[in-house]
Structure formats: C-alpha cells, structure tokens
Amino acid sequence: MLHGYRLCLAPLSSAKPPGEGDVTMAHETPSRAQTLVYTIREALRPVEQQLRQHPYLHALETGHLLPSQLRAFVGEQSAIIPSDLRSLALRISRCAAPASQQFFRAVLDGEAAALEALEPLATAVGMTPADRDAYEPTPGAQAYSAYLAWLCLYRSEAEVAAALAVNFAAWGATCGRMAQALRQCFGWAEAAVRFFTQFATAPADVSPQALAVIEAGLARGVEARHIIRATRMLQGYELMFWDTLWALCTPEAEAE
C-alpha cells in the first residue's frame, strides 16, 4: 500500500504547537498545517497503538508465522501497488502547483520502487508470477487502495498529502519490524526484505514538502475537517489491511 506509499523526504520536527519541548524553533509560531497535523496525530494515537501492537506483527516477530504465510501479503500488494501507481499519476496530472507535483512524484517513485522490490519478496515466499496472477484479492485488504483512488479522484491535494504523510510513519515502522523479523527468525537475505527496508526509513514526522501542500490547501479554503477526515479514514483502512491479513492466516497460525 502506499502502503502507500512511502516517501522518505526529510521530516520537519516542528509537528507540535509551542511549548512541546524541542519541536519548534525559539519564538517560532507553528503554521496552520503544523498545528493541524499535531491535532490529527493526537486523535489517531489509539489507531497507531493498535498498529504497533498488532497480532500479525507479534506472530511474525515470535516466529509463529511462516514465510509461506506471507503469500497473502504479496498477493494483496500485487493488486494494491499498480492501483496506487495509477491513482498517484492521476493526482499528479491534476496538480497545478509545482510543490504539489514534486511531493506526489516522490511518492510515485517510491511506489514504483516497491513494485520492483516485490519480485524478490514473492520469490522468497514461494509465489510464481502465475501464483500472483491467480491470487484473489480480499475486500478488507484492498479498502485502503480503493479509498486512496477515491481521494485522488474527488478530493483536494491537501487531503491526499495529509493522509499519506501521516500514514507514512505507521507503515514505515511496521515495515522495519517485518524486515528485522524475517532476517532474525528466518535468515532472509537483504534482497528478499528490500520491499520492507526501503520503507523503514520513512520519517516519523510529516515532511516539510507535505506540510507545504497542506498549508497551500488551507490557504485556498480546504476545510480542516476534511483533511482530518481523510487521514482518519486512510489510517483506519491501514488497520483493516492488517486485520484482514491476520484473519487470513490465523487458522494456520493456530494450527502450528
């Protein structure tokens, strides 16, 4: 997913309002976008906690999921990434501001790299191209990608940028843990985990580039509540993705 999707632009640490430690420069007033992002991150803490403590990740880290059980992950991503590439290309075609185009092109490049890195991952879990083509995607795992397509088609670039940028941190942290688990528990080589490691460096904070897109949207009259809604929905679909994968492999996990 963008899974978005994962953009490794330099983070801007000032994602909190004044008085929150070292997150702002002395005497610097946070922008509207920074204040809004802080509000969003605070509201989404319960979802982020669920993602960090997800049983799918715990099972993988403790060796209770076998590499073969990641075939569903690969199968779902084989449908997600091509869809996301098309969605992002559409969004770029509709961006008027160079800053917005630059942001979404960077995300698009990350998705293209993910599609390339999916090949050695598929090999590692024992999926041939024919297996991936035959895999039937599930509604719960594809909901994130479908909603991203809807955002790119119908909503503002500020909403899309905020939703993706807030999600990058959660996705990146998850990918980092999966790469480490696969190396430690199963001895996978770096090539096999490259899909995960390339996202693991995603910034924990929203990047200046994303903030610029959000700020410009607010200045044009995009309502903050719509930006909040987009981030809440996309993060919720992220959780649904992992819930679905866990449901797919739980019978096998319980049988081990």
59-87 pLDDT, tens digit each: 999 999 988 899 999 999 999 999 999 99
Percent of the chain with pLDDT over 90: 80
Of 182, 51, 168, nearest to 121 by C-alpha is 182
Q: Residue 129 maps to which CATH number?
A: 1.20.910.10
Distances (CA, A) of 174 to 47, 177, 201, 214: 13, 5, 11, 25
Residue 122: inside a domain? yes
Q: Give the residue numbers spanning the domain of 95.
A: 30-250
- 24 domain residue, yes or no: no
pLDDT reported for residue 236: 98
Residue 25 φ then ψ, to 5°: -70, 155
Residue 94 in domain: yes
Sorted by sequence, the CB contacts under 8 Å of residue 149 that are 6+ apart come out as 83, 86, 87
Token pair of 47 as six digits: 């979802």
Q: Dihedral sign, CA of 191, 196, 198, 201?
A: negative
- Please report how many Cα atoms fall inside a 13 Å half-sphere around the Cα of residue 30, on the Cβ side: 22
Alpha helical stretches, state H, the chain: 32-43, 45-52, 55-61, 71-93, 98-124, 129-134, 139-154, 157-186, 190-200, 208-219, 224-255
Determine what percent of the chain is predicted with pLDDT higher than 70: 87
Tally of domains within the chain:
1
Q: How far apart are CA 111 and CA 73, in angstroms?
A: 16
pTM of the predicted model, to two decimals?
0.87
pLDDT higher than 60, residue 137 = yes
Q: What is the mean pLDDT of the chain?
A: 89
Q: Is residue 205 part of a domain?
A: yes
Domain membership flag for residue 14: no
Rounded Cα gap, residues 126 and 90, in angstroms: 33
Q: What are phi and psi of 154, to 5 degrees?
A: -115, -20
Q: Is residue 170 part of a domain?
A: yes
Q: Give the count of beta carbons closer than 10 Å to the beta carbon of residue 21.
A: 7
Asked whether residue 11 is domain-assigned, the answer is no
Residue 12 lies in a domain: no
Q: State the Cα angle at 236 between 120 and 84, rounded to 5°.
A: 45
